[in-house]
Chains A and B, each alone.
Chain A
Amino acid sequence: MAVVKVTRPKLNSGEKMYLGAIMKGFVITMKHAIASLRGKTRGASDLASSGLGATMQYPEQKWDEHLPEYYRGAPALVTDEQDRERCVSCQLCEFICPPKAIKITPGEIPSDDPWAKVEKRPKEFEIDMIRCIYCGMCEEVCPEQAIYLRKDYAITGLSRADMVHDKKKLYEIGGKRVGLVNKWNELK
């Protein structure tokens, strides 16, 4: 690689005095201060600023409608259009999960069930949200498109046990997603 020699810029005597640069600095900082007091900070309107600077006042205002499509929030399980749980407990997500946050107890689907041909579903599915790093690998690895990162970000709890999302909670967050794969749907 070519070597680029960077020399210090030659300063003229005005620049060496330094006072002009300080004045320029004052002008810049005061410009920001005045703009932020008038609520005219650049980007304030795009960011739904509360009036001072570009800051949104969090619990009162939320960023939810600004969340991008690719936002990675809490992972959750989804059902298909026939309310069948998509997860077939293959445990790939459990294996891929870098912080080992996912714990699956597989169970068989009894033969009298309409979806008996799917053979397996999770008996229990737990994601420890203290461990989860929101990397999205579970979503990527899932062959059934059963686990998705949704836009929930305020995951709180008063104890460690509260922070473990069980199967019920995961389906509650995930809800229903239609029109993805119809592997098990005979009608389509």
Chain B
Amino acid sequence: MDLATLLIILAKVIGLTFMVVLPLVPISVYFERRFSAIIQDRVGPNRVGVPLTLLGAKKDFSFFGLIQPMADGLKLFLKEDFTPSHVRKAFYWLAPALTVVPSLVTVCVVPFGSDLVVNGEHHKLVIADLDVGPLFIFAISSLTVYGITLAGWSSNSKFPFIGGVRSTAQMISYEIALGLSIVPVLLYYGDLNLSNIVQKQADNGWLLLPLWGASAPWNNGGDYTAWLFWIPAMIAFVIFTTSVFAETNRMPFDLPECETELVGGYHTEYSSMKFAMFFMGEYAAMVIGSALVVTLFLGGWSLGFGIDAAISDVTVFGVGIGGLIHMAIFMAKVVAFILFFILVRWTVPRFRYDQLMRLGWVIFFEAALINVFLAALVVAAPQYGPAITVGGLIVLAIVTGALVWVLKVSERKALPAAA
């Protein structure tokens, strides 16, 4: 490996992780505060800015309060970093780092844009173009739970401990649904490389918007597979998105830090920058989660409607900057999805713990499994002909009916004795 390659890799790591993803964290915190404010008929932070009046100007330059995240960060840096005497020091110090790092490591397989062409050389806008992208993300991002569990345990205090235990149970439950729900997507594309998946979506229509390229029936000689696949894709999308909410401990599923029951949950005993790292970890996980949803279901960096090839060819002064335009599109999509995350947080009330477990194990797990078979049927239908497909559908319907029946029977409770 020569020096140039190494420098390019370093530039990608620093550029994409520290210049693109990390700034999204404070920006999403700002969005969270402003968006929640306008939902609740408030204003939100709109003051922090450049205090020009101190320099003799007439008005302050508040800039919609966009500097608020910097003020928050500064505040957290300057606070006393207090370590209680009753904690397990080593794990107590390790835990915050363990929640942030996995979220940031998973950035490396997310494709941010199409190729950047410099001197005729194509550079992919992805740090590591792994052929096992989604698997890598699941493997690494589930390590986040160690941070939370260790934080809960090492704090040596009952509420953080309950928070940590809840988090572990929740992560295990939703990891299954998360993994199973994207099996249909992988079946459809026959590929685990996220760059290729996005490239296919750019050429042939997004998974949830198959309206151009080879997926549209008027282009491929009347093949409705892509349109039929929309049904399992939509189910997968709902399950995957909800599981991502659960994985990132966001609002409808934020039981590990449920402040009405557990004070602050796993980070009760943390202060200053260590608390900020938990906070950052949560938001980084949210950024990665929405990046993953956008990549798998909503076309990643592609603008859609078959104009991505034209964008990729945009060249200014001999440098193909199409990749950068695509990156901007990707960022816009990610920010839009983060706004959806925030909307959900301020709309849906928190689940009760048994409801959470029931949703994960009884509903999403089964739904994802059935969805895998449904997707396989849709994908295999053109090869096997109508007879086998209809037979498969009947079997699937019977299995689904049986599952729903079991669900109903298992739920039936004895009526309370009449008083």
Footprint of B on A, CB under 8 Å? 22, 25-26, 28-30, 32-33, 35-37, 41-42, 50, 52-55, 57
5 nearest interchain CB pairs? A53-B41, A25-B347, A55-B43, A36-B38, A52-B43
CA of A54 to CA of B41 in the docked complex: distance in angstroms? 6
Residue of A nearest to B419 (CB): A5
What chain A residues lie within 8 Å of B37 (beta carbons)? Answer: 52-53
26 contacts between A and B (CB under 8 A): A22-B347, A25-B347, A26-B343, A26-B347, A28-B347, A29-B347, A30-B343, A32-B41, A33-B39, A35-B41, A36-B38, A36-B39, A36-B42, A37-B38, A42-B41, A52-B37, A52-B42, A52-B43, A52-B44, A52-B46, A53-B38, A53-B40, A53-B43, A54-B41, A54-B42, A55-B42
User: Do A41 and B343 form a contact, CB below 8 Å, given A22-B348, A33-B35?
Assistant: no
What chain B residues lie within 8 Å of A28 (beta carbons)? Answer: 347
What chain A residues lie within 8 Å of B46 (beta carbons)? Answer: 52
Partner of A36, one of B41, B343, B347, B348: B41
CA of A92 to CA of B46 in the docked complex: distance in angstroms? 48
- Which of B35, B343, B347 has most chain A Cβ within 10 Å? B347
CA of A30 to CA of B343 in the docked complex: distance in angstroms? 8
Residue of A nearest to B355 (CB): A18
What chain B residues lie within 8 Å of A54 (beta carbons)? Answer: 41-42
What chain A residues lie within 8 Å of B343 (beta carbons)? Answer: 26, 29-30
For residue A56, give the distance in angstroms from its CB to the closest CB of chain B.
9
What chain B residues lie within 8 Å of A35 (beta carbons)? Answer: 41
- B31 contacts chain A at the CB level, 8 A cutoff: no
- B346 contacts chain A at the CB level, 8 A cutoff: yes
Partner of B39, one of A29, A42, A55, A57: A29
* Inter-chain contact A29/B41, CB cutoff 8 Å: no
Q: B259-277: which have CB < 8 Å to A? A: none
- Interface size range on B against A: 10 to 19
* Inter-chain contact B346/A53, CB cutoff 8 Å: no
Seed contacts A22-B348, A28-B347, A35-B41; 20 additional CB < 8 Å A-B pairs:
A22-B347, A25-B347, A26-B347, A29-B39, A29-B343, A32-B38, A32-B39, A32-B40, A32-B41, A33-B39, A36-B41, A36-B42, A42-B41, A52-B42, A52-B43, A52-B46, A53-B37, A53-B40, A55-B41, A55-B42
Residue of B nearest to A27 (CB): B347
What chain A residues lie within 8 Å of B348 (beta carbons)? Answer: 22, 25
User: Do A41 and B41 form a contact, CB below 8 Å, given A25-B348, A29-B346?
Assistant: yes
What chain B residues lie within 8 Å of A57 (beta carbons)? Answer: 43
CA of A30 to CA of B41 in the docked complex: distance in angstroms? 11
* Inter-chain contact B39/A50, CB cutoff 8 Å: no
For residue B237, give the distance in angstroms from its CB to the closest CB of chain A.
13
CA of A154 to CA of B38 in the docked complex: distance in angstroms? 28
What chain B residues lie within 8 Å of A30 (beta carbons)? Answer: 39, 343
CA of A36 to CA of B46 in the docked complex: distance in angstroms? 15
- Which of A25, A29, A50 has most chain B Cβ within 10 Å? A29
CA of A29 to CA of B345 in the docked complex: distance in angstroms? 11
* Inter-chain contact A33/B347, CB cutoff 8 Å: no
CA of A101 to CA of B330 in the docked complex: distance in angstroms? 62
Q: B22-46: which have CB < 8 Å to A? A: 35, 37-44, 46
CA of A123 to CA of B59 in the docked complex: distance in angstroms? 46
* Inter-chain contact B43/A50, CB cutoff 8 Å: yes
What chain A residues lie within 8 Å of B38 (beta carbons)? Answer: 32-33, 36-37, 52-53
What chain B residues lie within 8 Å of A29 (beta carbons)? Answer: 39, 343, 346-347
What chain B residues lie within 8 Å of A52 (beta carbons)? Answer: 37-38, 42-44, 46
For residue B318, give the distance in angstroms from its CB to the closest CB of chain A.
43
CA of A26 to CA of B341 in the docked complex: distance in angstroms? 12
Residue of A nearest to B47 (CB): A57
CA of A29 to CA of B344 in the docked complex: distance in angstroms? 9
CA of A32 to CA of B38 in the docked complex: distance in angstroms? 7
CA of A54 to CA of B38 in the docked complex: distance in angstroms? 10
CA of A41 to CA of B39 in the docked complex: distance in angstroms? 10
Residue of B nearest to A51 (CB): B43
